[in-house]
A and B are shown apart, each in its own frame.
Chain A
Amino acid sequence: MLFNSWIFVAFLVVLLAVVAPMRRYGTPWRVTLLVASYFFYAQWDWRYCFLILGSTIVDYALALGIDAGRHPRRYIVLSVVANLGFLGFFKYANFLLDTAGRVGAAFSLPPFTALDIVLPVGISFFTFQAMSYTIDVYRKELPARRSFLDYALFIAFFPQLLAGPIVRAREFFTQLDNPVRTTFLEARYALVLIALGLVKKMVLADTLALRFDPVWTNAAHASPWEALLAVYAFAFQIYFDFSGYTDVAIGVALLLGFRFPKNFDYPYLALSIQDFWRRWHMTLSRWLRDYLYVALGGNRHGPARTYAALMITMLLGGLWHGASWNFVIWGGLHGAYLALERVLPERWRSPPASRLATALRWLLTFNLVCLAWIFFRSPGLAASGEMLAKVAALPGALPNPGEAARAIAFVAVVLGWQALARRLDLKHAIAARGVAWVACITLALLALAWLTPGKTMPFIYFQF
């Protein structure tokens, strides 16, 4: 069930109508949300509900074991192995077999047969949530949850089940234990998030996808200017797609009484790569920092260990997105960027003193991010090479003022709008003013009716 489908609209309306008269946060309310969440997931493939249930039971039991105090280390290792086992089998088995086959071919060994595995949608997200929970219990930052119902709801809660935001157990359980009703203003804000999230996805991201997908699938026939435009367009497509999804998820959760953490904070306004990662997929960045980077030593053991930890974190962060060398390179590039930023002298890292310096810093950051997107988006390494070659050929290409103007205008308009929206805190401002709210939601509905390309595209992050 996609957020951008009629069946989801019907599902949400019915669910809100059903849970509204219930006493919030009571057992029937929780049971209803859990059943609704499993129903939501079953719309994709009901058999994989058992996978979520299995993962839930395992981590619930292991957390209780950790909390009991006897052999906590043994239980946490079991939990990590179980979760990475789930993830590894469904997500990386064929990648590993393929890689092993390639290595084996060098020694004239027969190739491995690929397994017929369907990647369960959302597995990367709910597995990370489960791991964060058991690790937090192990670190004694959180007591193990006694109520299986609460824990099952934490894992399966449908707004964040398929593509995040990756919510921490403490954040979720605190809200379960200390109920705060959704206010009228919050409901208005939630509807702004949902409406604008759908516009981002269905109008902006899908239009960009349909316009530029042919360039990515056939980069060899694209002109250098087209290639550049396609790279910039993808940067915004994935942002609109993923942040649009997140906005809807946060909005839906808020309507149900849950306040989810922010996942995006105008990332393309970042002035450094570190700044970018504080604004892009913030809940994943936070997860990687707290459970991987810190576990690898963080910056506590000197520069060499810090760079190594950064590199490993970003490489694994890349691999988390998918079993492909392209994602590894994407993560590796970001790791290298972050490490290089740390090598730079302090004056290069401090806030820029002039507007020109700010603009140059932004330009460099944005283009470095876009360079990495080439690997993220291309269907394979060869295609990445073709796209890079096209973009690299730009200085020698015939000047194309039309395409150049379009590329600059496109980036300028979107980023100008972003800067304005950030400065005015536009979504909250709209929610707070009655006329603005009505106008915003009405225009969003009309945009969804008139300006969608007519072809529903799946959310990009569902494949992860």
Chain B
Amino acid sequence: MLRRALFLLLPLLIVAALEAAYRAGAWEIAAAPKSHAGETIRMKALWAAYPEPIDVVTLGSSRAVYGLDHAALAAEAQRRGVRHASFALAGSHWMSVRGISRWIEAHRPEVRKRWIALSIADFQFAGNGAYELGIVEPLRSWSDAAWIGEHVRFDSHDVATYGVYSSLMQYRGDMADAITHPTSRLRDLAASRRSPLTRLFDGPHDDTNACAVDTSTLERCMAAPETEATRMVRGQCRSAHASRLGERNLLAAGPGGSAHPDLVAARDMIVRELRQPRWRGNTVVILLPTHALWERELTVQGLHGWVEAMLRPLAEEGSIELLDYTQRFDRDGRSDCTAYLDLYHQNHASAALLTRELLDAAGDRLYAFQAAKASGMPPR
């Protein structure tokens, strides 16, 4: 009887074994190189393989990838006798910050300082949607579903959220693509082996600008005639408009005119992360320049003040160093189109300028290290 029951359970046991293998990283060798998980896998490999100690890490989304001059940061760090590398990944949000920080704690414990470079728009939510699960998947451990679930709520009706608990499910898009297009997957993997990612100490160099489109208002941006030069920004305006927050006054949408519970929950989670004992006093938060259109028409109204109110006390208590460059490229309420390559990102010239400015203004503080506040792995 027991043998028969075990036999009937065998397929489930095999699937459970596969789940364990995937969680342990068995699929990483074949994951799509250009997927979110693939980017993380390649970055993780670079970090794991780098032979010298690294002292400072930059975390953040594509805004950080484009908005800072990583080569200049690496050079400045080297001048000061330390090593500064990037772990910024497109799509990263607070879940990725948490996941990468944990991975670094476990695998590169010599890292002493983290810079978190995001925009004020990233303070509205606890996560960047279910696809951020792909970014953290290759960095996960066996028992972190609970904190990941704080960023992406599991919904049994939404398969995209099954990745909170299951690595097999997290890779389902990747597997479907590999099964249906095996030859192109093999080609992509071969290509990525030929030209591996070299982004530890550098970033992209893009010197285009967003001046082909009038971005003074969303309406005008969306109404721009479609040409090769306008396509990117115009498309971003349209898609941002489509996904615009339905309730822009969320800061007064909760009971009694308080902030909306989702905003409060995101704030509490961010504050908790920024007070992590392992990084306390060794976390720099850089609010990257954000196109004026975002705060004026797309994000929660008064978001900048909300973020400042969240971060200032943390700076004053010494948990973080705060550098706010949100309006660095604005004048009279309008953003300088020559500084942006699109609605989200700065071009390389403005990234270099900003990096020079922040190093000049606060270089000593940014590369100063506080003694660790707690030993061992911090509680989560």
Give the nearest-CB partner of A195 in chain B: B11
Do B8 and A188 touch (CB < 8 A)? yes
Kindly report which residue of chain B lies nearest to residue A439, judged by CB atoms. Answer: B11
The stretch of B171-179, B216-224, B299-307 that contacts the partner chain = B171-179
Contacts of A456 in B (CB 8 A): 157
* Contact between chains at A438 and B12 (CB < 8 Å): no
Kindly supply a per-residue 1/0 record for chain A positions 425-464, scoring 1 wherever the CB is within 8 Å of any chain B CB and 0 otherwise.
0000000001000100110011001111010100000000
Does chain B have a CB within 8 A of A184? yes
List residues of chain A with CB within 8 A of the CB of B157.
456
Judge if B106 is at the interface, Cβ distance under 8 Å: no
| A438-B10 CB under 8 A given contacts A449-B169, A454-B160 | yes
Do A445 and B4 have beta carbons less than 8 Å apart? no
With both chains docked as a complex, state the minimum distance between the C-beta of A194 and any C-beta of chain B, in angstroms. Answer: 12
Chain A residue numbers with a CB within 8 Å of B179 are 450-451
Pair B4/A454 contact, Cβ less than 8 Å: no
Enumerate chain B residues within 8 angstroms of A434, measured Cβ to Cβ.
7
| CB-nearest residue of chain A to B169 | A449
Query: Which positions 127-153 of chain A face chain B at CB distance < 8 Å?
Result: none
**Would you call B4 and A452 a contact (CB within 8 A)?**
no
B287 vs chain A, min Cβ distance (A) = 35
Task: Give the Cβ gap from B7 to chain A, nearest Cβ, in Å.
Answer: 7
Question: Does A209 sit at the interface, judged by CB under 8 A?
Answer: no
Tell me the chain B residues, 1-58 only, with Cβ under 8 Å from chain A.
4, 7-8, 10-12, 14-15, 18
B155 CB → nearest A CB, Å: 11
Q: Which residue of A lies closest to B172 (CB)?
A: A450
Contact B159 A438 (CB under 8 A): no
Q: Which residue of chain B lies nearest to A440 when distances are taken between CB atoms in the complex?
A: B11
Interface residues of B in 147-177 (CB under 8 A from A): 156-157, 159-160, 166, 168-169, 171-172, 175-176
Other-chain residue from A184, A188, A442 in contact with B15 (beta carbon distance below 8 A): A442
State which residues 1-50 of A face B: CB under 8 Å. Answer: 6
Contact of B4 among A6, A184, A442 (CB under 8 A): A184
CB <8 Å contact, A187 and B15? no
Pick from B11, B166, B168: contact of A441, CB under 8 Å: B11
**A441: chain B residues within 8 A (beta carbon):** 11
Beta-carbon contact of B156 and A6 below 8 Å? yes
Q: Nearest residue in B to A442 (C-beta to C-beta)?
A: B11
What's the nearest-Cβ distance from chain A to residue B85, in Å?
34
User: Which residues of A lie under 8 Å from residue B166 when comparing CB positions?
Assistant: 449
Q: Once the chains bind, are B156 and A454 in contact (CB under 8 Å)?
A: no
* Pairwise interchain contact A450-B11, C-beta atoms closer than 8 A: no
**Closest A residue by C-beta to B4:** A184
- Closest residue of chain A to B159 (Cβ to Cβ) is A454
Contact partner of A438 among B4, B11, B18, B169, CB < 8 A?
Answer: B11
Does chain B have a CB within 8 A of A193? no
Cα distance A191–B160 in the bound complex, in angstroms: 27
Chain B residues 171-194 with CB under 8 Å of chain A are: 171-172, 175-176, 179
C-alpha gap A438/B10 in the complex (Å): 7
- Once A449-B168, A451-B179 are accepted as A-B contacts, the answer to whether A442 and B14 lie under 8 Å apart by CB is yes
* B160 and A438 contacting across the interface, CB-CB below 8 Å: no
- Residues in B lying within 8 Å of A, measured CB to CB: 4, 7-8, 10-12, 14-15, 18, 156-157, 159-160, 166, 168-169, 171-172, 175-176, 179
A: which residues have CB within 8 A of B? 6, 184, 187-188, 191, 434, 438, 441-442, 445-446, 449-452, 454, 456
Top 5 A-B residue pairs of the complex, sorted by shortest distance between their CB atoms: A441-B11, A450-B175, A442-B11, A454-B159, A450-B172
A/B interface sample: 20 pairs, CB < 8 A: A184-B4, A187-B8, A188-B8, A191-B8, A434-B7, A438-B11, A441-B11, A445-B11, A446-B15, A449-B15, A449-B169, A450-B168, A450-B172, A450-B176, A451-B176, A451-B179, A452-B159, A454-B159, A454-B160, A454-B172
